[in-house]
């Protein structure tokens, strides 16, 4: 017992360490005899004994984390998010914040705690955003910190923008060894547009290749943020986490006190629960909401009763009331995700707000492809799986489609290529489906001769040449960040993909930013793979859709034995039509089995053949039984054979095997 007492007295009487010179410029007030000065220095058991002996000392942050439902003044609420490029340590930092504040106990902790899907853990990316409420004590004052963990990829930028609208501050996490990347810039610009307080954090300072001084200077030069007080940390080792928490409290402004105004709450996420219906994640901007209130969604005027409300910490914890500034969830027996769209505004049914919160818009799919089951009897399973997945992912759009080659399937719309890959993998993993996926295409706008505009996501829907006046395709503004050694190969890639060079800026001595205007259709193939290959993995990219432009586009048809195969039709630029047609016809010649008659394989634009291959016939030796005799006998047999082949070619059908379609679709993704 004597030993225990000695340890406890030492812990109580040890002066608080001075703040690290690497922390933010603010100096923490001295607390020379506080038991909470060094919460990480003691084990859980020792800390408990310290609190027993020093009953007058305040509870530590970790212990306070267990009282997350306790109300705090609105001036003590901090709403923040973490923005970073992929693999810069965003999820690891979120894990450490949850652990340090006692929100998640150490025994329950696991890596990427907020990433619930196996796919997120394997790829190391955040696909669905999550929220977590933490309680933190600083200078004996309890604070409520609401972390909204956002995806980092451009395909989910709409979700990111809604998350930023629900916050007042953001941690800008930059890898101290890699520096500023393209998606870091994009998300910072979104945060600046939302007037957020940005706290720069240099992560991974424990790595041998870390150069925090150089990276801090890079952030100042590229983004213009003052990094003289940038926090240097290692989320993996737990270095600098306390400084980050203190900076959130001192630098992020509290929400505005609008408790007396009519209720307005911003929906920043929703998902479908099989038992409770749609669960809505929201941030209360004005007023308050209580359990049992009758609410209304302002975009579609749907009315519901709030059966259950609560906070996310990170698991759902029920509460009776949430007021302005707080973040929580709501369950109201909503059966359709379409009724609770991300970006919509919740208000009271009886006392409605005059106007909705700004920024609501429908998520518009930009990339389309066909999904077909490998086995025809899985069509209904695929329909059911897509329906369920759409309840969790409101951005997914699909409609039935039939193909003479692949049977019945669905035409699906996605926000981008990563979104398409994620949906495909989730369908195959979670619903045990084997799928064939056609080459991705974009939405074209066709200006018809009768002054109508038709949106076309499938080559089979393209109007006849005589009915269309022009075709417009979507363009993107793409920003490429690369070391200066790879500028040449990347500019060559941009020129190959019909890119329009805009500008090049040296953001630092060794790194440059290239800006191109590029057709989206040129990017949905292997553009990203080519970029990484030509830059040895060092370049990064960010893009945004800027609108439509008229282009010289044509429909390329593939004809086998004179019959068009609709499943292999594509829309391509006229300059690339010959190369694509030649590649497809050569590949089909290798894959289609030979028949008893000659098979022409042609790539056509309208009635004009631009590339052609011929599959020679299997020739039966009809002269084998003729030994000697008159030549007229042999001529008669050959003539009879020729007539039979002519008749076979007229009435015969060429069956293109499934393997050939799959190989050609893979080839289309490479050559388009």
Query: Is residue 484 pLDDT above 70, yes or no?
Result: yes
219 is in an annotated binding site: no
> How does residue 359 score in pLDDT terms, banded at 50, 70 and 90?
low
Range of 193-197, 402-406, 501-505, 510-514 with top mean pLDDT: 501-505
267 is in an annotated binding site: no
Sheet containing 169-175: order of strands = 130-138, 141-149, 77-83, 169-175, 197-203, 231-232
Q: What is the pLDDT of residue 464?
A: 84
Task: Give the Cα separation of 45 and 8 in Å (integer).
Answer: 11
Per the CB < 8 A criterion, the answer to whether 635 and 563 are in contact is no
Q: What is the pLDDT of residue 411?
A: 86
Task: Please tell me which residue, 362 or 398, carries the higher pLDDT value.
Answer: 398
Per the CB < 8 A criterion, the answer to whether 263 and 288 are in contact is yes
Q: What is the pLDDT of residue 516?
A: 93
**CATH number for the domain that contains residue 143:** 3.40.50.300
Last residue of a domain, one of 317, 348, 379: 348
> How does residue 40 score in pLDDT terms, banded at 50, 70 and 90?
very low
535 is in an annotated binding site: no
124 is in an annotated binding site: no
Task: Give the Cα separation of 22 and 560 in Å (integer).
Answer: 70
Residue 3 lies in a domain: no
Residue 25 lies in a domain: no
Q: What percent of the chain has pLDDT over 70?
A: 76
Q: What is the pLDDT of residue 34?
A: 35
125 is in an annotated binding site: no
Task: Please tell me which residue, 322 or 418, carries the higher pLDDT value.
Answer: 322
Per the CB < 8 A criterion, the answer to whether 235 and 93 are in contact is yes
**CATH number for the domain that contains residue 332:** 2.40.30.10
Question: DSSP H helical segments within 2-43, as ranges?
Answer: 2-13
Q: Are 525 and 602 in a shared domain?
A: no
Q: In total, how many domains does the chain have?
A: 5
Task: Please tell me which residue, 246 or 99, carries the higher pLDDT value.
Answer: 246
Q: What is the pLDDT of residue 458?
A: 79
Task: Give the Cα separation of 306 and 288 in Å (integer).
Answer: 13
**CATH number for the domain that contains residue 638:** 3.30.70.2570
> How does residue 28 score in pLDDT terms, banded at 50, 70 and 90?
very low
Last residue of a domain, one of 520, 551, 582: 551
Pairing type for strands 345-348 and 264-273 reads antiparallel
> How does residue 501 score in pLDDT terms, banded at 50, 70 and 90?
very high
Q: Are 247 and 272 in a shared domain?
A: no
115 is in an annotated binding site: no
Residue 62 lies in a domain: no
3-state secondary structure 566-617: HHHCEEEEHHHHHHHHHHHHHHHHHHCCCCCCCEEEEEEECCEEEEEEEECC
Task: Please tell me which residue, 624 or 358, carries the higher pLDDT value.
Answer: 358
Task: Please tell me which residue, 651 or 46, carries the higher pLDDT value.
Answer: 651
**Rg (the chain; Cα; Å):** 31
CA distances, 173 to each of 75, 85, 156 (Å): 26, 8, 18
Dihedral (Cα; 287, 289, 290, 294), 10-degree rounding: 120
Q: What is the pLDDT of residue 51?
A: 33
Task: Give the Cα separation of 219 and 123 in Å (integer).
Answer: 27
> How does residue 637 score in pLDDT terms, banded at 50, 70 and 90?
confident
The DSSP 8-state label assigned to residue 255 in this structure reads P
Q: Are 481 and 630 in a shared domain?
A: no
**What is the domain extent for residue 505?**
445-551
Residue 51 lies in a domain: no
Query: Is residue 415 pLDDT above 70, yes or no?
Result: yes
Task: Please tell me which residue, 15 or 541, carries the higher pLDDT value.
Answer: 541
Task: Give the Cα separation of 183 and 112 in Å (integer).
Answer: 20
Name, in order, each residue with C-beta under 8 angstroms of 568's C-beta and a sequence gap of 6 or more.
405, 558, 584, 661, 664, 668
Task: Give the Cα separation of 343 and 347 in Å (integer).
Answer: 13
90 is in an annotated binding site: yes
**CATH number for the domain that contains residue 431:** 3.30.70.870
Task: Please tell me which residue, 28 or 363, carries the higher pLDDT value.
Answer: 363
Closest CA to 255 of 247, 240, 265, 246: 265
Residue 41 lies in a domain: no
485 is in an annotated binding site: no
Q: Are 124 and 232 in a shared domain?
A: yes
Q: Are 73 and 219 in a shared domain?
A: yes
Q: Are 476 and 500 in a shared domain?
A: yes
Q: Dihedral sign for Cα 237, 94, 231, 159, please.
A: positive
Task: Give the Cα separation of 121 and 593 in Å (integer).
Answer: 43
| Averaged pLDDT score across all residues of the chain | 76
Q: What is the pLDDT of residue 155?
A: 57
628-652 mean pLDDT: 67
152 is in an annotated binding site: yes
Q: Are 116 and 244 in a shared domain?
A: yes
CA distances, 268 to each of 156, 217, 527, 591 (Å): 12, 34, 31, 49
Residue 256 lies in a domain: no
Q: What is the pLDDT of residue 318?
A: 87
203-227 mean pLDDT: 84
108 is in an annotated binding site: no
Query: Is residue 94 pLDDT above 90, yes or no?
Result: no
206 is in an annotated binding site: yes
Pairing type for strands 453-456 and 231-232 reads unpaired
Q: Are 211 and 86 in a shared domain?
A: yes
Tokens standing for residue 497: 């993909």
85 is in an annotated binding site: yes
Q: What is the pLDDT of residue 129?
A: 61
CA distances, 4 to each of 11, 232, 570, 598 (Å): 11, 35, 77, 94
Torsion-angle region of 418 (φ positive above 0: left; ψ -120 to 50: alpha; else: beta): alpha
Residue 18 lies in a domain: no
150 is in an annotated binding site: yes
Task: Give the Cα separation of 252 and 362 in Å (integer).
Answer: 30
Task: Please tell me which residue, 454 or 54, carries the higher pLDDT value.
Answer: 454
300 is in an annotated binding site: no
Q: Which of 155-164, 252-261, 624-633, 660-669 has the lowest mean pLDDT?
A: 660-669
110 is in an annotated binding site: no
426-431 mean pLDDT: 84
Q: Are 425 and 371 in a shared domain?
A: yes
> How does residue 250 score in pLDDT terms, banded at 50, 70 and 90?
very high
Q: Are 227 and 90 in a shared domain?
A: yes
Q: What is the pLDDT of residue 491?
A: 92
Task: Give the Cα separation of 196 and 209 in Å (integer).
Answer: 31
Q: Are 578 and 620 in a shared domain?
A: yes
Q: What is the CA angle 604-610-614, rounded to 5?
A: 85
447 is in an annotated binding site: no
Q: What is the pLDDT of residue 52?
A: 34
Residue 56 lies in a domain: no
3-state secondary structure 459-474: HHHCCCHHHEEEEEEE
Last residue of a domain, one of 397, 413, 438: 438
348 is in an annotated binding site: no
Q: Are 154 and 282 in a shared domain?
A: no
């Amino acid at each position: 017992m004597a030993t225990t007492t000695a340890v406890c007295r030492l812990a109580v009487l040890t002066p608080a360490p001075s703040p690290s010179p690497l922390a933010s410029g603010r100096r923490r007030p001295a607390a020379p005899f506080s038991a909470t000065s060094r919460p990480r220095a003691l084990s859980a058991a020792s800390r408990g004994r310290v609190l027993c002996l020093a009953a007058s000392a305040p509870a530590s942050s970790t212990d306070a984390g267990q009282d997350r439902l306790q109300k705090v003044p609105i001036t003590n609420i901090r709403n923040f998010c973490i923005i970073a490029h992929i693999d810069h340590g965003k999820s690891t930092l979120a894990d450490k914040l949850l652990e340090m504040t006692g929100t998640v106990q150490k025994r329950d902790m696991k890596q990427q705690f907020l990433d619930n899907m196996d796919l997120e853990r394997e790829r190391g990316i955040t696909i669905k955003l999550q929220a977590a409420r933490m309680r933190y004590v600083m200078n004996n004052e309890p604070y409520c910190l609401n972390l909204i963990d956002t995806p980092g990829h451009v395909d989910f930028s709409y979700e990111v923008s809604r998350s930023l609208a629900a916050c007042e501050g953001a941690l800008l996490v930059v890898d101290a060894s890699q520096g500023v990347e393209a998606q870091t810039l994009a998300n910072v610009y979104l945060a600046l547009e939302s007037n957020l307080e940005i706290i720069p954090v240099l992560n991974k300072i424990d790595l041998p290749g870390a150069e925090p001084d150089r990276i801090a200077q890079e952030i100042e030069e590229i983004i213009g943020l003052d990094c003289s007080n940038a926090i240097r940390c290692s989320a993996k080792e737990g270095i600098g986490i306390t400084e980050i928490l203190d900076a959130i409290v001192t630098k992020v402004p509290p929400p505005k006190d609008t408790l007396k105004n009519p209720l307005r709450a911003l929906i920043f996420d929703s998902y479908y629960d099989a038992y409770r219906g749609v669960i809505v994640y929201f941030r209360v901007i004005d007023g308050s909401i209580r359990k049992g209130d009758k609410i209304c969604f302002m975009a579609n005027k749907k009315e519901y009763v709030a059966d259950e409300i609560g906070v996310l910490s990170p698991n759902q914890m029920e509460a009776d009331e949430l007021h302005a500034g707080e973040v929580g969830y709501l369950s109201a027996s909503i059966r359709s995700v379409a009724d609770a769209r991300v970006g919509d505004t919740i208000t009271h049914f009886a006392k409605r707000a005059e106007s909705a919160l700004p920024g609501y818009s429908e998520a518009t799919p930009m990339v389309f492809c066909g999904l077909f089951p490998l086995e025809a009897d899985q069509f209904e399973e695929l329909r059911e799986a897509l329906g369920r997945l759409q309840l969790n992912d409101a951005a997914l759009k699909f409609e039935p489609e039939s193909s003479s080659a692949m049977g019945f399937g669905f035409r699906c719309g996605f926000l981008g290529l990563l979104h398409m890959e994620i949906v495909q993998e989730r369908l195959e993993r979670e619903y045990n489906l084997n799928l064939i996926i056609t080459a991705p295409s974009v939405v074209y706008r066709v200006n018809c001769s009768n002054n109508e505009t038709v949106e076309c996501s499938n080559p089979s829907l393209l109007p006849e040449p005589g009915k269309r006046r022009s075709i417009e395709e979507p363009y993107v503004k793409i920003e490429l960040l690369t070391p200066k050694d790879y500028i040449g190969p990347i500019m060559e890639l941009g020129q190959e993909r019909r890119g329009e060079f805009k500008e090049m800026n040296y953001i630092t001595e060794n790194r440059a930013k290239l800006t191109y205007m590029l057709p989206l259709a040129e990017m949905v193939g292997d553009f990203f793979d080519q970029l990484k290959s030509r830059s040895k993995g060092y370049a990064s990219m960010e893009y945004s859709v800027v609108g439509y432009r008229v282009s010289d586009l044509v429909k390329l048809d593939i004809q086998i034995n004179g019959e068009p195969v609709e499943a292999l039709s594509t829309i391509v630029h006229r300059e690339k039509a010959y190369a694509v047609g030649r590649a497809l016809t050569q590949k089909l010649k290798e894959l289609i089995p030979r028949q008893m008659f000659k098979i022409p394989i042609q790539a056509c634009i309208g009635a004009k053949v631009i590339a052609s291959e011929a599959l020679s016939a299997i020739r039966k030796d009809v002269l084998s039984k003729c030994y000697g005799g008159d030549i007229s006998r042999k001529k008669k047999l050959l003539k009879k054979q020729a007539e039979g082949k002519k008749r076979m070619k007229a009435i015969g059908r060429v069956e293109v095997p499934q393997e050939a379609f799959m190989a050609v679709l893979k080839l289309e993704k490479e050559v388009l």
